[in-house]
Amino acid sequence: MPMKKIKMGDFEIGGGAPLVLIAGPCVIEDEETTMEIAGELKKITAELGMPLIFKASYDKANRTSHNSYRGPGLSRGLEILARVRKELGIPVLSDVHRFEEIVPAAEILDVVQVPAFLCRQTDFIMEIARRARAVNIKKGQFIAPQDAIHIVKKAAAAGNENILLTERGASFGYNNLVVDFRSLPVLRRAGYPVIFDATHSVQLPGAAGTASGGDRAMVPFLARAAVAAGVDGLFFEVHPDPDRALSDGPNSLVIESLPALLAVLLKIDAVVRSDLR
């Protein structure tokens, strides 16, 4: 099946287009930090000539503990993301967890994300697809890659062909995830761009008791393998000081490490692109 190209501002995703980066902090901690991270990501990717979509959650409704920080909430969070979009000229992405959020989120966001745990919710996916400019569907940890085609078809049936499909690992025993890189070419058979979420793939769900653990040292290895397999984009959660991040710190990258890693990944992409795209 031919790969669809997704138009995103002044760049495209998929179908032989350059590798795209989706990156940002797991959750909006405050406006100043969010703008700082977004500005740094814009600088890094501009120097590398790499397209960027900024990602941050306004409400992490799926935290392990109800006492964990979730974000500033829908209204304030969307205000901050709108500022990123307007002042920095970067497309923005965030995830929605409730039907009530879909309309206001779709008015601001360039990409509305379906969380992995909600990827089987038919009505939810189709309503997002009806409202959003573009949809990023996180493949659930419990979904076989060949079954993801049914999720994509739901969004397409709602009239939206601007679909991204993201791999983030599969459940493997307790408190662990594993990535089967065979899933990436299987997902691409659906005909839409495939993104590899390198930082959530090293998450250790619930391993820290009231929070998830992670192994950020493994991120570069998985990212290199995914690019070699021919993905259309990469998803990284980044933070200036991940050990002090309010969500997903253990699996987030130190933003200072990103330029060197991206430079390597772009070299790999240049080698494989002509054969796989």
* Domain boundaries, given as residue ranges, for the chain: 6-271
From residue 16, how far is each of 11, 94, 113, 192, 263 by CA, in Å?
12, 25, 23, 12, 19
Q: What is the pLDDT of residues 218-227, one digit of tens each?
A: 999 999 999 9
Give the C-alpha separation, 153 to 161, whole Å. 10
The pLDDT assigned to 86 comes to 98
Residues 165 and 192: beta-carbon distance below 8 Å:
yes
Whose CA is closest to 9, among 84, 114, 73? 84
The pLDDT assigned to 1 comes to 65
The pLDDT assigned to 187 comes to 96
Q: Point out the residues of the chain with pLDDT beneath 50.
A: none
From residue 151, how far is each of 14, 181, 209, 233 by CA, in Å?
19, 20, 32, 19
Q: Which amino acid is at 251?
A: N
What tokens were used for 44? 């890094």
Superfamily for the 6-271 domain: Aldolase class I (3.20.20.70)
The pLDDT assigned to 79 comes to 98
The pLDDT assigned to 250 comes to 82
Whose CA is closest to 238, among 222, 261, 221, 205? 261
The pLDDT assigned to 251 comes to 87
The pLDDT assigned to 104 comes to 98
pTM: 0.95
Whose CA is closest to 154, among 105, 183, 119? 119
Q: Which residue has the tokens 């306004």?
A: 58
Phi, psi (rounded to 5 degrees) for 97: -125, -10
